A and B are shown apart, each in its own frame.
Chain A
Amino acid sequence: MKTAIAAYYPGSSLIHRFDPRAKLVAVAAFSVALFVRTSYWSLAVLGLACLTGFALSHVPPRWFWRGLRPILWLVAFTFVLQALFGPGELLVRLGPLDISREGVERAAYLSLRLIVLVVAGSLLTLTTPPVALTDGLAWLGRPLRKLHLPTEELALMVTIALRFIPTLLAELDTIMRAQRARGADFSRGGPLRRARALVPLLVPLFVSAFRRADELALAMEARCYLPGVRRTRLHPLAAGRRDFLLLLSVAAIVTLALAV
């Protein structure tokens, strides 16, 4: 079963081989640049860089599309809102609605910016295994430990949550079949009836998820897991010259985007 959440496309492209920390920093810098400077030229520079990364990743376009699809309605909504209510020189009049030239331009700009942002984010999640991603986040969050924030534990929580998505989906499938055997029907009736039909699914799913969480916590303790203790890693993160070059080129692109 495929979910849009944290989908990872296995591969060995240049983008795949970058250190997750370098990729995280790159995408963060990229996103900030995208929002700090409002100009078509900087959007063009960043968009082009994004497309280059996309081409280098060897991930089929279909997979990016899957990430984009859910936000398209947001894009459309933004576009309509901006085009209708943005002030400026009159372009066309549709009945009681005035559409201004500035409004349309602004709408196009905002929509493109959103799309570039999502593609950049997908580039990160599609080419980085979830565990590497959380390891990278944990490493980058290390300075926050000085403020007594449990960054390692938060990263572990995210890793475990991701690990259990397929398990819970399989469980949901079993529960669904079991309740169907008892005559449950999940596709008939109006919204209220359908929402009510979910009770026989959700109650058992939550009960078993909590039971599982409890058991996992005990099992981890039995294997000597202690929160707040520095652990060693099976696959230590190792950044090399390649990652340095990535950060350097991203810095150059961001500088260019902010300058034009």
Chain B
Amino acid sequence: MRDALSGEGGIAGGALTCEGVTFSYDEGRSRVQALDSVTFDQPAGCATALLGPTGSGKSTLLQVVRGLLDQQAGSVSLDGVTADDPRYEAVRRQVGLVFQMPELQLFAASAFEDVSFGPRQLGWPPLQVERAANAALASVGLPVERFARRHPHSLSGGEQRRLALAGVLAMRPRLLLLDEPFVGLDPRARRELVAVLATLRAEGAGFILATHDIDLAWQLCDSRLLLDDGRLVGAGPWAFGEGGEDELVAHRLCPPFFVALWERLGRPLAEAPRSAAEAAEALA
């Protein structure tokens, strides 16, 4: 998996700065405030969990960062390129957004066709398109020999989800945004997707992972953004042992299983493990 992407450069860069981002939806007679002056920094190559109860503005924030929704106030800049830079549009297009239930957007007659849609839209030469599509398929654990010719709708749910992810990776994003990628997957499909994300993570890819699954967020991400009712109420490292666990509870969430376990065991929360393997090692 690693070679497939690193040969083509993989995901690099992707330092994101959001400054006072404000967005409201037009609901006919009234406006619904979805984001209220959201300000944060996401360093390049950092994996961040975007947490918050349903309706807190997670999806809206991701779509604003990708440039699909235009914020009413505030600014978004990527790798220091701001809105007044002529390269801005091009750089913004290099944010890869994987929608919620992205398999619903598959449309081509083969897995390869679907993955190469993005690169072709970018106007890349055919050879480069093919290399990018093949590398992306391999990087999500869908080996080209076995999957490239398959019809997307003949794949399993988990494979479809990873195929949709490949469609975004093929465009060589600087930063990856994932909107609830684990929703509706069975345990095995989930484990396979987690493995793909962990590999991307190990290769230094930066991503923002919006999820309700606090355990996977804790396992995969080094820091977190906490949204509640459109306001950013927490950012930076998890800070368990320094009030991070109470903060989650205060905003209608709950701490990860291993953090709760460490609390029960009376062990320091700052050393709470992220996975069963780490827990076993610590307890041995």
Among residues of B, the one whose C-beta sits closest to the C-beta of A182 is B118
Contact with B along A180-215 (1 / 0, CB 8 A): 111111000000000000011001100110000000
Q: Tally of A-B residue pairs with Cβ under 8 A?
A: 45
Contact B121 A204 (CB under 8 A): no
| Cα A222 to Cα B104 with chains together (Å) | 25
Contact B105 A178 (CB under 8 A): yes
Q: Name the contact of A183 in the complex, choosing from B106, B153, B171 (C-beta under 8 A).
A: B171
Size category, B interface: 20 to 34
Residues in B whose Cβ lies below 8 Å from that of A174: 99
Secondary structure of the B contact surface, majority rule: helix
Contact B68 A204 (CB under 8 A): no
Size category, A interface: 10 to 19
| Cα A180 to Cα B171 with chains together (Å) | 13
Residues in B whose Cβ lies below 8 Å from that of A180: 68
Contact with A along B117-137 (1 / 0, CB 8 A): 110011000000000000000
A175 within 8 A of B: yes
Among residues of B, the one whose C-beta sits closest to the C-beta of A206 is B107
Contact B104 A208 (CB under 8 A): yes
Contact A204 B118 (CB under 8 A): no
Among residues of A, the one whose C-beta sits closest to the C-beta of B120 is A183
Beyond A199-B107, A207-B153, 13 additional pairs, beta carbon < 8 A: A177-B63, A177-B68, A177-B99, A178-B102, A180-B68, A181-B96, A181-B168, A182-B117, A183-B121, A183-B122, A200-B105, A200-B117, A207-B104
Q: Which residues of A contact B (CB under 8 A)?
A: 174-175, 177-185, 199-200, 203-204, 207-208
Q: Which residues of B contact A (CB under 8 A)?
A: 63, 66, 68, 93, 96-97, 99, 102, 104-107, 117-118, 121-122, 153, 167-168, 171
Instruction: Provide a sorted-by-A list of 17 A–B residue pairs whose CB atoms are within 8 angstroms.
Output: A177-B99, A178-B102, A178-B105, A181-B66, A181-B96, A181-B97, A182-B105, A182-B168, A183-B122, A184-B121, A185-B121, A200-B105, A200-B107, A200-B117, A204-B104, A204-B106, A204-B107
